[in-house]
Amino acid sequence: MRVLSVLLGVAAAFAGSLLAFNAIRSVGPKDRTHEFGVGDASTRVPGGGSLIESRHFGLVVAALRRELGPDGAVESLDLQPVSATASGRSGGVRKLVYIDASGRSRAQDGGALTPAAALPVSRLDAAAIDKLVTGARKQASGPIENLTLAGGQREWTVHMTGGEPDTLVANLDGSGIRLPGEPNPEPVGAAPDSMLRAANLARVLAAAAKEGSQVTGLDVRPDRVSVTLDTGGRTLELDYGYDAQLTSRDLRAKTGAPEKAIPLAGIDPAAIERMARSARRLVDSPGLGEVQYVLLDTDGTLRERPELLLYRAPGAQPTYVVADLHGRGLTWPGRTN
C-alpha cells in the first residue's frame, strides 16, 4: 500500500508538471519565425545569394503586394543585398514598407499624401534586375552596393562601391544603362506608356481641362507633361507624370508681359504622333522614339498661328519641326519647298 501511495504521488506530480508546462507554453512566447526582422532569416536570403538578383526579387514584389494591395503603387524603392525599403500608396494612404532578406515585411504610416507619380506594383519586373546589373558591370568595375527605383520617373539608379563610375541609371526594364545626364539610348518616346502617345496625352489634357480652358504653355516629354493655364487673374501650372498622375500644382500671380492664351480643347492629342509619322517621310526621322520634347508656341514660330514644335535627337537636322495643333502641315526653318 505504501508503494502504491508513492507511485500515485509520483504520477500526480508528473501530471501536475505536465499541466503546468502546457499552461506556461499557452501563455509563453509565440512562434515569431514568420515576423519581419526575427532570427537569422532576417539577414539570409532563402537559397543563398542576394535580393539584388532576379531569382530573389520576387520576394520583394510579393511583400509589396501584400502590404500595398493589388492596386498599390511604389513611389520609391531602395533595394539592398539583404533588405529593401519602399514608400508607396494604397487606397489613398501613404505607407512605408520594410522588407527583410526572407521577404517578411512590416508597414507603417508614411504621412500625408502629396502630389506625386508612382509605379503600380504590377509593373515591377524581376527580369530587369539581372539585366541592369549585367549592364552596370560592363561599364564599372566596383561591386554593386544597392539599387534605387524612382517610381515617378520609372528609372533605376545603380550605386557602386569604389571604381568609376560609381553611379549609373537604367530604364524600368533594365535597359538603357548610362551615366546620369546622358541621353537615353532606348527609344522611350515610342514606348506604350510614353506621354507622347495620343491616348496618354489625351488623359492629361482631359485632367487639365477640369482646372481651366485657356492654355498658354504646353511641354510634352516621354515621361512627363507640363500644362500652363490662364485662370483669369492668375497662372496655374500643372505637372503630370506617367498615367496622367498629378505631380505638382502651382497657382501664382501673373507677372511680366501678358501671354497669349488659346483654347485647350484646340490641341489634338494625336498631333505629336502625326508629326512623328510625317517626319519619318520628310526628314528621315526614326519616328516617335527620337522625340525629345514638344512645345506649344501660342504666337507661332514660322507662321502667325498657334504651333507645336517637335524637338529631335541631338545632332539631328533639322533640329526641330513645326506643325499646327493637329500635327498637320509639317515644316521646319529653312525649308525651301
Element (H, E) at 85: strand 83-90
| 73 shares its domain with 107 | yes
Q: Is 298 left (phi over 0), alpha (psi -120 to 50) or beta?
A: alpha
In a domain, 44, yes or no: yes
Question: Over the stretch 106-130, which tens digit does the pLDDT of each residue have?
Answer: 999 999 989 999 999 999 999 999 9
The residue type at 7: L
Q: Which domain holds residue 91?
A: 36-182
Residues of the chain with pLDDT under 70: 1-31, 336-337
- 96 and 194 part of one domain: no
Q: What is the 3-state secondary structure (H, E, C) of 131-172?
A: HHHHHHHHHCCCCEEEEEEECCCCEEEEEECCCCCCEEEEEC
- Contact call for residues 110 and 95 (beta carbons, < 8 A): yes
Both 144 and 233 in one domain: the answer is: no
Quote the distance between the C-alpha of residue 201 and its chain's center.
Answer: 18
- 328-334 CB contacts, 8 Å cutoff, 24+ apart: 328/274, 330/275, 330/278, 330/279, 330/282, 331/302, 332/283, 332/302, 333/302
Residue type, 156: W
Q: Do 291 and 239 fall into the same domain? A: yes
What cell does 206 get? 482631359
- Tell me the longest C-alpha to C-alpha distance in the chain: 126
Residue whose C-alpha cell reads 492629361 in the numeric block = 204
Residue type, 293: Y
**β-pair partners for 252:** 235
H or E element that contains 77: strand 73-79
Instruction: Give the Cα separation of 227 and 22 in Å (integer).
Output: 69
User: Do residue 89 and residue 194 come from a single domain?
Assistant: no
**Looking at the structure, do residues 47 and 110 belong to the same domain, yes or no?**
yes
Domain boundary among 154, 182, 210: 182
Is residue 30, in this structure, part of any structural domain at all?
A: no
Q: Is 283 helix (H, G, I), strand (E, B) or coil?
A: coil
Query: What residues form DSSP beta bridges with 295?
Result: 219, 309
Output the nine-digit C-alpha cell for 26. 499557452
At 258 the pLDDT is: 85
Residue where one domain finishes, among candidates 182, 203, 236: 182
Q: Is residue 1 part of a domain?
A: no
Rounded to 5 degrees, φ, ψ at 304 are -85, 75
Q: How many domains does the chain have?
A: 2
Q: How far is residue 268 CA from its own chain's centroid?
A: 27
Is 215 found in the same domain as 314?
yes
Give 2's contacts (C-beta < 8 A, 6+ positions apart).
none
* Location of C-alpha cell 502629396: 114
> Is residue 86 a contact partner of residue 64, using CB atoms and an 8 Å limit?
yes
Residue 151 lies in a domain: yes
Q: How high is the pLDDT of residue 246? A: 96
Q: Do residue 64 and residue 171 come from a single domain?
A: yes
Cα separation, 7 vs 30, whole angstroms: 35
Q: Are residues 215 and 172 in the same domain?
A: no
Q: What is the pTM of this model?
A: 0.83
* Domain stops at, among 152, 182, 212: 182
How do residues 230-246 score in pLDDT, each as one tens digit? 998 899 999 999 999 99
Nearest to 196 by CA among 76, 332, 327: 327
- Are 160 and 224 found together in one domain? no
The answer on 315 and 279 residing in a single domain is yes
Question: Same structural domain for residues 125 and 238?
Answer: no
